[in-house]
Structure 1
Amino acid sequence: MTSELSWLRRRADKRAEIGPWELREGLRSRSSELRALLEERKLEHPQGTPEGNRVHRFADEALSELENAERALTHAHQRYKVGSHVAVGQIHIDTAHNLLLRLSRPSEIVSMMPGILAIVQSRLSSDDPRRARVEAIAQSPESIGEPERETILDAVGVARQASIRENLRVRSFVNIVGWVAGCLAVAAVLVALMGAVFEDMVPLCFTPYRGLEVGGYVVVCPVAMNPDPKGGRDINESEASATTPADYLVIEIVGLVAAGIAAATTLRRIRGAVTPYNVPVVLALLKLPTGALTAVLGLLLMRGSFIPGLSALDSSAQIIAWATILGYSQQLFTRFVDTQAQSVLNAVSAPNAMPPPPSPPQGATSSAS
């Protein structure tokens, strides 16, 4: 019975690990490290004195934050929330680390200054007075006292709040793009179903004129062709007889494949970021239904003589070829989303880590020459 319970628990843990597993393990390791440091602080300051009581109070609060972080990282019911549990765990761990800094003596903060400076410089702009003050303190760490420690804690807290806001921005962006991609996918499915049920309502057919000597006009559809000499049936009847339920489906599949190729080629320009939200994947998912719809809408515009000279395609192969081009051309619309995604990822990846290079003084070029 015990072995069966252990087996079920292991299976539940595996199900709970769906998502950014490496980030979760990194946060768990960081939580274990902070827990050991806090326990050491409690041993160094036994209860019974004002300072000991203070250390135990803050340490217990920090340990409670670590428990909340571990609980957020191991909840099986969050298996479908790919990134939210990681972000929540990071928030609790950051709070515990801030409490540890508050428990540290000024001499202990000196050894932590490189990491503190990196956090502040990565999230606060170069003209922020809190960053400037921390950088000044880092120049002379031996002068760290109670006021300097409060300044450091305030700057670190603000920097971590900025990091949380950037991660929330990434999550909001991914959710918006995901919802738009889902709506476009539903629209593409509905268009394909409408084309299959009402195949002759808005046909994707063209009627190129071949001349009287070759039989007048020809009805060309994505799947079939229907020659009809001039003076024969009405053109609408000819189109209705040539259309098939698969016309819209074939065009959408061709546009979707072309959009998939476009998505594969554009992913090389997207630099990844260590975030729990998979931005490149949701961008690729957006392009697929967009390509299917742009292929259909583009052919409808061509059929309506919206593009001069392209109102009468000569064969089904030409229709398929143009559907490929139109499906790939969705990149003209989604490239703005790609640009916004890259700016969001850049904002998460330490936007202020490197100060802007100083502009050269006036006349430097002329003097060098």
Structure 2
Amino acid sequence: MRQAAGNHNIRWRFGSWWNGLAYEGTLTSLHAAEVAIIKLSQPARAWTQIDAVLALAGPLCQRDPRLALVEELKRKDWPGDERVPWAVAALLEAAYAVQEERAVRSRNFRNRLIRAGSVLTLLLVVTVTVAWHSAGAIPVCTSGCPDREEPGLREVGLVMLLGMLGAATHVAGRLQKMGGSWNPYNLPFYQELIKLPIGALTAVIGLLLVDTEWLPMTEAPDSWHDVMASAVVFGLAQIALTRSIDQRAEKILASDPDPEEAKQLEKVPDPDNRAQGTSEFTV
């Protein structure tokens, strides 16, 4: 019984980590409680929250009717207006809906990175297995191979390791510049981690393509020392392949969405349509 309960707990924890059930469920509940408190408050008390709610509503479209109503109430400067509680609550709910949507996008992107990293790791295992069973099948070196004519597991494995080293050099430089982040899913870690297997594969592929039509400006290494140096350089060259990953992650990690993402967030479903009993929020 205890073992079964323990296995169930592990499965639940993994599912919650993967699907964001615990964090996103807690976040949604807290947001709903804050909205309900403001909605049930007296107008004068809800009025004190207008500035804070307007700051949170920055990512919303400026044409949003809930934002327009709250701004109009603030301009009139009438804390006793009976519309203040539900208007501020409606705007806060919309702002929180955008925050929740950004959290979902962050989790989805992290999960895609994990899936891609798993596939790349599997490719590394397959490559190493081929090199182990069939020497010379992956010619990462020709005349520069040490003590043998055909490269095998040792040579291919070392090239991969050096490719990871080149990628890690880039990762270390980025980690020094990386500051704190609001992200709850540790996205920066997975963003940088995926570069290691990519660096290993670019090292192998780069050495396979040297002195070919694909890389006509390069020459095949003449010595094993040159092979190792080339592996590090090709591992570092993964920067070109992971630039789009970095750009996407930076948009998600930004404290405020950029104009392009803000335009996409305008399509977030109206929270009034997602909850029961909030029809009076419609402006």
Name the CA shift for 1:198/1:147 in 2 (closer, same or farther; >3 Å). Answer: same
Matched residue pairs, number? 250
2:109 is the alignment partner of 1:156: no
| Structure 1 segment 204-243 matched on structure 2, within 5 A | 204-206=140-142, 219-221=143-145, 224-225=146-147, 239-240=149-150, 243=151
Q: Secondary structure at the match of 1:146?
A: coil
Question: Which position in structure 1 is the counterpart of 2:253?
Answer: 345
- Partners of 2:206 and 2:234 within 8 A in 1: yes
CA deviation profile, 1:156-211 (whole Å, cap 9, x unmatched): 211111111111111111111111112111111221121111112232222xxxxx
Question: Which position in structure 1 is the counterpart of 2:133?
Answer: 197
CA deviation profile, 1:26-72 (whole Å, cap 9, x unmatched): xxxxxxxxxxxxxxxxxxxxxxxxxxxxxxxxxxxxxxxxxxxxxxx
CA deviation profile, 1:64-105 (whole Å, cap 9, x unmatched): xxxxxxxxxxx9943771754222211101111111112111
Tell me the distance in 1 between the aligned counterparts of 2:177 and 2:25: 30
TM-score when normalising by structure 1:
0.62
Question: Which position in structure 2 is the counterpart of 1:169?
Answer: 105
2:5 is the alignment partner of 1:97: no
Tell me the distance in 1 between the aligned counterparts of 2:152 and 2:107: 43
2:20 is the alignment partner of 1:114: no
CA deviation profile, 1:330-364 (whole Å, cap 9, x unmatched): 01110111011101122xx2338xxxxxxxxxxxx
Q: Secondary structure at the match of 2:185?
A: coil
2:68 is the alignment partner of 1:132: yes
In the alignment, residue 239 of structure 2 is paired with which amino acid? Q
RMSD: 2.6
Could you tell me how far 1:316 is from its partner in structure 2?
A: 0.3
Question: Which position in structure 1 is the counterpart of 2:164?
Answer: 256
CA deviation profile, 1:124-161 (whole Å, cap 9, x unmatched): 13343322321222234434433333322222211111
2:118 is the alignment partner of 1:182: yes
Question: Which position in structure 2 is the counterpart of 1:292?
Answer: 200
Q: Secondary structure at the match of 1:190?
A: helix
- Partners of 2:35 and 2:90 within 8 A in 1: no
Tell me the distance in 1 between the aligned counterparts of 2:132 and 2:114: 27
- Partners of 1:110 and 1:141 within 8 A in 2: no
Tell me the distance in 2 between the aligned counterparts of 1:304 and 1:254: 22
Show structure 2 runs of 5+ residues with no match.
1-5, 259-283
* Range with greater deviation from structure 2 (307-316 or 195-204): 307-316
* Range with greater deviation from structure 2 (127-136 or 328-337): 127-136
TM-score when normalising by structure 2:
0.79
Tell me the distance in 1 between the aligned counterparts of 2:257 and 2:141: 52
Name the CA shift for 1:92/1:249 in 2 (closer, same or farther; >3 Å). Answer: same
Question: Which position in structure 1 is the counterpart of 2:240?
Answer: 332
Tell me the distance in 1 between the aligned counterparts of 2:217 and 2:147: 20
Q: Secondary structure at the match of 1:252?
A: helix
In the alignment, residue 193 of structure 2 is paired with which amino acid? L
| Structure 1 segment 40-55 matched on structure 2, within 5 A | none
In the alignment, residue 287 of structure 1 is paired with which amino acid? K
Show structure 1 runs of 5+ residues with no match.
1-11, 17-74, 207-218, 227-238, 353-369
- Partners of 1:119 and 1:156 within 8 A in 2: yes
Tell me the distance in 2 between the aligned counterparts of 1:113 and 1:205: 67
- Partners of 2:170 and 2:236 within 8 A in 1: yes
Tell me the distance in 2 between the aligned counterparts of 1:158 and 1:256: 44
- Partners of 1:170 and 1:344 within 8 A in 2: yes
Name the CA shift for 1:201/1:76 in 2 (closer, same or farther; >3 Å). Answer: closer
- Partners of 1:106 and 1:144 within 8 A in 2: yes
